[in-house]
Amino acid sequence: MLILLDADDDCPRDLAWSIALRAKEWIPNRAVSVVCANREFEAWFLASASTLDGKRGLRIPAADVPDKPDSIRGAKEWLSHRIANGRYRETTDQPALCAHIDLETARARSRSFRKLCSDWERFAGQP
């Protein structure tokens, strides 16, 4: 079982560990992995920002690509300032941007995304 959530202002590692312990109490016979996006899920879009320019109305000049995408608090607002209609909509924009995210770029630029990828690869290899 893979559990994914935002860490917000918590330490992603500590929060994931705490939730994993509680999950294992409730489902002791299942493998459990908890991945916490550092700050918020949308930080992973920021990690791949250079490859999302032009998608879903986003305009992201190279100079705007954040150096440390995992450290930005307010990734949704960051996206809203760069989207054509001026408002990032989680329910519609999030799935659409997931279809365009460059996995290798995000993996290279985000520690929490690397954790998601490694846990997914580990779970996908299990019967």
Residue with more model confidence, 127 or 63: 63
pLDDT digit string, tens, across residues 23-69: 999 999 998 999 999 999 999 999 999 999 999 999 999 999 999 99
Does pLDDT of 7 surpass 80? yes
Mean pLDDT of the chain: 94
Does pTM top 0.85 for this prediction?
A: yes
| Band (122; pLDDT cuts 50, 70, 90) | confident
Give residues with Cβ within 8 angstroms of 103, minimum separation 6: 48, 117
| Band (126; pLDDT cuts 50, 70, 90) | low
Does pLDDT of 100 surpass 60? yes
Residue 126: count of CB within 10 angstroms of its CB: 6
Does pLDDT of 125 surpass 90? no
Give residues with Cβ within 8 angstroms of 67, minimum separation 6: none
